[in-house]
């Protein structure tokens, strides 16, 4: 069977490269120049992100794992028959949750939704040894994957949708609210939603998390240019750019940028782009919004959820919030 037809292991949809080219043309010509952060995650970018999660300066992943381990039983009780994780990454978070929930949990369908086929394959491997768990993968966007998962046949019981890792932080407020409402719309009343979100903390600490002394985050950011060169026949000189992270206090977000260190011409053949960047000009590649705990409660309530529990890691300031569709 061709890899295109293997269920659960589908390749990027045809035209995915064209999508990248189109988005590049659109976003790179805006003022300020920008790129959607989802393009950071090709195979190399995903591997670099996994490395970031192990950095001593990036505490989010470890803080969230501690919370999942401490409260797993309460989160994944016997009444849950389907868990749907949007953006499972390596599968480590769900695996920690399953382990913490222990044998009391009944049969479970686990739906994994991600645009990255290699992430799905890795997450599947991390989860396939759990007993009474059936794994289904959806290589598509969160919204489509969530709808597919909710339409799928299942055992009687509640669903639990999970959006972890502070991935919510990548959305700007209007996009975030629209996303939360679309999650709510796909669920039935009584279904659960578990949200992991990073909290505001001292600026110095936040900046170190996004500009680490080993330069892994810089490599993660610069890989976007290298991906453009690989996939779209770009001729972008990586030496002409530096990684730049800043705290935007007014918007409560960390921003990552690629800063042009000199005046230079950028030619990207397959996106039909040819333009000049000035010295100091930036390409905005990611926002990571940081929240306060009550803000998380109110954005969930505005979107049709009732909050059942909120756990906070006091060492690294991270919140795990368990809500219920009402
Ligand atoms: C995976 C989006 C949660 O914003 O903290 C890590 C990505 N960017 N270092 C984040 C990221 C730079 C990460 N998220």
Full 3-state SS string of 22-34 = HHHHHHHCCCCCE
pLDDT at 199: 98
- Residues touching ligand 1 (Cβ under 6 Å) are 52, 60, 165-167, 169-170, 210, 217, 286, 288
Q: What is the pLDDT of residues 232-248, one digit of tens each?
A: 999 999 999 999 999 99
pLDDT of residue 111: 98
CA of 294 to the centre of ligand 1 (A): 22
- Reported for 313-316, long-range contacts at CB under 8 A and 24+ positions apart, including other chains, are 313/63, 313/64, 313/66, 313/67, 315/59, 315/63, 316/59, 316/60, 316/62, 316/63, 316/201
Give the chain's mean pLDDT: 93
Please compute the mean of the pLDDT values over residues 141-165 and round it to a whole number: 92
* Dist. CA 288 → ligand 1 center (Å): 7
pLDDT digits 0-9 by tens, 182-235: 999 999 999 999 999 999 999 999 999 999 999 999 999 999 999 999 999 999
Predicted confidence band of residue 17 (pLDDT cuts 50, 70, 90): low
pLDDT at 181 (0 to 100): 98
pLDDT at 154: 77
Q: How far apart are CA 100 and CA 81, in angstroms?
A: 16
């Amino acid at each position: 069977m061709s890899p295109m037809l293997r269920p659960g292991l589908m390749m990027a949809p045809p035209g995915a490269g064209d999508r990248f080219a189109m988005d590049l043309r659109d976003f790179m010509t805006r003022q300020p120049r920008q790129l959607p952060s989802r393009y950071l995650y090709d195979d190399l970018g995903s591997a670099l992100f996994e490395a970031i999660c192990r950095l001593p300066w990036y505490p989010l992943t470890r803080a969230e794992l501690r919370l999942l381990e401490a409260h797993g039983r309460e989160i994944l009780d016997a009444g849950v028959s389907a868990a749907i994780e949007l953006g499972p990454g390596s599968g480590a978070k769900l695996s920690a949750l399953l382990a913490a929930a222990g044998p009391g949990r009944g049969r479970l369908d686990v739906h994994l939704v991600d645009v990255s086929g290699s992430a799905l394959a890795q997450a599947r491997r991390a989860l396939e040894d759990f007993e009474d768990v059936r794994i289904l993968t959806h290589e598509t966007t969160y919204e489509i994957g969530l709808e597919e998962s909710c339409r799928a046949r299942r055992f009687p019981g509640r669903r639990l949708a999970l959006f972890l890792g502070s991935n919510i932080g990548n959305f700007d407020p209007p996009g975030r609210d629209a996303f939360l409402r679309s999650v709510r719309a796909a669920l039935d009343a009584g279904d659960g939603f578990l949200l992991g979100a990073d909290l505001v903390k001292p600026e110095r600490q936040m900046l170190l998390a996004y500009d680490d002394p080993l330069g892994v985050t810089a490599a993660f950011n610069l890989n976007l240019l290298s991906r453009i060169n690989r996939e779209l026949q770009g001729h972008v000189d990586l030496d002409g750019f530096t990684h730049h992270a800043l705290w935007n206090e007014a918007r409560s977000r960390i921003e990552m940028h690629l800063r042009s260190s000199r005046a230079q011409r950028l030619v990207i053949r397959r996106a039909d782009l040819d333009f000049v960047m000035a010295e100091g000009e930036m390409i905005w590649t990611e926002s990571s919004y940081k929240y306060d705990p009550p803000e998380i409660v109110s954005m969930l309530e505005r979107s049709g959820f009732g909050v059942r529990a909120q756990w906070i890691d006091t060492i690294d300031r991270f919140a795990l919030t368990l809500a219920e569709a009402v």
